[in-house]
Amino acid sequence: MTFSLAVGMGLVFGLGPCNISCLPYLGPVFLARDGGVRRSWRIIVPFSMGRLSGYTLLGLFAGLSGQIIDSRLDTPWVPMILGGATILVGLSLFFSSKPMSGCSSPSPISRWFGKFHPRLNIKRFLPDGLFFMGFGMALNPCAPLGKVMLAASATTSAVAGSSLGFGFGLGAILVPAVVFGVGMAYVGDRLREQMAEWRTTLEKTSAILLIFMGAGVFIF
């Protein structure tokens, strides 16, 4: 398998299954974050870099070990990464949600959290959480990734294996970056405009949805 073929397989994967699997995670984030298409890179870049790092790391280990590691990904720490990161993103969005004008006082939960740990700014978890969310998604086995890992293991080279993983990741993130960075960001921005009076409720609901989804991944 060549680098260009790995990129092509990533593109095909990104055109279909990848967009579907990313939607439950990125959809609520775009509904909860303001900025539209112009600022969508703040969400897309860390998430995509996490996925790209995950695929590259898998290719590196497959090439280094000369073995297919796809079957070894069914371990407790894989859902812990994805679930934990999703919870962190949800918490960050929940506590960064700004109340509407005239309701500037913080909620009881926010006041309690500030007293519980005043030095911890949970809003900073968002970029890191998005990175590890993407990283965790990259560790979920899929048929195209399995073929790339098979080819990477056949190279018995860390450099060649990581290049195949990087190529697959590069192709896999391109289409979702456009679909979500432009399409979903635009839709989310329009929904926020149409539901302006319910903005805080929409943001909180999206954040809570991510927290519960992350907890489900983490537990089950």
Q: Please report the pLDDT score of residue 99 as a whole number.
A: 57
Round to whole Å and give the CA distance between 59 and 68. Answer: 9
**Residue numbers of the domain that contains 180:** 3-219
Over residues 98-134, the pLDDT tens digits come to 554 444 444 454 454 444 444 445 556 778 889 999 9
More confident residue, 139 or 49: 49
Where on the phi/psi map is residue 97: left (φ > 0), alpha (ψ -120 to 50), or beta?
beta
Question: Both tokens of residue 20?
Answer: 């579907």
Confidence class of residue 33 from pLDDT cuts 50, 70 and 90? confident
168, pLDDT greater than 90: yes
> In angstroms, how far is the first alpha carbon of the chain from the final one?
35
Q: Please report the pLDDT score of residue 104 as a whole number.
A: 45
CA-to-CA separations, 108 to 41, 77, 112, 113, 166, in angstroms, rounded = 32, 34, 6, 9, 45
Residue 173's H or E segment, with its range, is helix 158-178
Give the count of domains, the chain: 1
For residue 218, give every residue at least 6 positions away whose Cβ sits within 8 Å of its Cβ, in sequence order, or none. 79, 80, 83, 84, 87
